[in-house]
Structure 1
């Protein structure tokens, strides 16, 4: 495993992507940075972080996975982060679809996955992880928190990196050996608000209520709308969970 440590760059995903265009990268190449100035989240959202307070890194993974099974990468990464946080005593962990990691109903980690395709297969993946560690202030972000805010402990960022990288290696080995059913089961067991009535907003801005039942292999959220008998599938752009 090659780990590249930097003081400040725009985005670890962007840096690693450019590096992959210039060089043949070995599997598990990691870029970690103290200050990420233009970190990205899902659907172009901005990831804000105080320099030196949080863990921001990206991992290059070589893969051989059908495009139709792409969401298993998200499952694997989410499960690896949750398991890593469990080992350091972070309480009440859950995965908010598709791959936000929550503790005590607050977002502590965001994940951004960008896949490289060849035909109908995913050949590589760049996995960006932003974990709120020792930052204490989250102005205008009422649903965000950090490990320190939740446990009142200060963490060594490099130690957390090693714990997460070890879990990523373990969970990607499960993907490599086609343990799809158990991965999906473990992911759904941790799915935030599963099997309870919750409020959603659709892409037209209309509010409705429904019960999260499962997630498809392609990553669509399976929801049973209130008062209906048929489950409906939604992708990321079609649905927002209000909580």
Structure 2
């Protein structure tokens, strides 16, 4: 693991993406920043973090899958690596809110953003971005956000958590294709509000009820609807109301 530490940057994902386009990076190269001015979330949303309090990191990963049609398996491997790392710090009631939010109880404590690039020869390289709320305790106007410190009533060593996550991430990704079935089972078992009737809102702002059944191999959320049919939804087609 090669570690690049930055004081402030617009986006660790963008920095690492630019670096990978200019040079042949070592697998599992990591970039961290104390402050990120233009942090990215899913579908162009913004990730806001208090300077110096949280873990902001991006990881360059290459050749993780031989079959790029199974690309969502990489999301699953990363999410599970983060969850298992946090379990080792006794963070309670962890779950994954589809597609890539890390939850404790009903609060978001982290988020993932994977950006994949498939070369002409079929090889895959990925930039894995992770924002994890660690020691921040002020979440004014963010009622659904929390942190490890706020939940556990203690402060944490960010460097130690980074090393724990990277150790688990490397192990999980290197074994991805051998353990893919068990990884999928674990991921589906950790889905936030799975099996619970929940209200959702679609793109036309229409509210409806659904019960999460799981996630398809293409990464779509599978919902059991009130008419007993199963429907699949892509990212941003629906929003859970909780």
Q: Same fold (TM over 0.5)?
A: yes
Give the Cα–Cα distance (whole angstroms) in 2 for the partners of residues 181 and 219 of structure 1: 15
8 Å CA contact 1:70, 1:122 repeated in 2: no
Give the Cα–Cα distance (whole angstroms) in 2 for the partners of residues 205 and 71 of structure 1: 27
Give the Cα–Cα distance (whole angstroms) in 1 for the partners of residues 232 and 8 of structure 2: 40
Deviation digits for residues 151-175 of structure 1, max 9, x if unmatched?
Answer: 1110011001001001101211221
Give 1:167-178 correspondences, 5 Å limit. Answer: 167-177=168-178
Q: Offset of 1:176 from its aligned partner?
A: 3.7
Unaligned runs of 5+ in 1: none
Partner of 1:241: 240
Deviation digits for residues 129-185 of structure 1, max 9, x if unmatched?
Answer: 0000000111211100000100111001100100100110121122143x2211110
Q: Offset of 1:119 from its aligned partner?
A: 4.7
Partner of 2:212, secondary structure, is strand
8 Å CA contact 1:6, 1:33 repeated in 2: yes
Partner of 1:161: 162
Residues 193 and 21 of structure 1: CA distance in aligned 2, closer, same or farther (over 3 Å): same
Partner of 2:70: 69
Partner of 1:190: 190
8 Å CA contact 1:115, 1:122 repeated in 2: no
Unaligned runs of 5+ in 2: none
Deviation digits for residues 69-117 of structure 1, max 9, x if unmatched?
Answer: 1111111111000000000110000000011000011000010000011
Give the Cα–Cα distance (whole angstroms) in 1 for the partners of residues 207 and 153 of structure 2: 36
1:79 and 2:80 aligned: yes
Give the Cα–Cα distance (whole angstroms) in 1 for the partners of residues 138 and 162 of structure 2: 22
Partner of 2:3: 3
Give 1:93-242 correspondences, 5 Å limit. Answer: 93-119=94-120, 121=122, 123-177=124-178, 179-226=179-226, 228-242=227-241
Give the Cα–Cα distance (whole angstroms) in 1 for the partners of residues 122 and 190 of structure 2: 28
Give the Cα–Cα distance (whole angstroms) in 2 for the partners of residues 104 and 122 of structure 1: 38
- Between 1:4-13 and 1:68-77, the stretch displaced more is 68-77
Partner of 1:21: 21
TM-score relative to the length of structure 1: 0.96
Superposed CA RMSD = 1.2
Aligned residues: 241
TM-score relative to the length of structure 2: 0.97
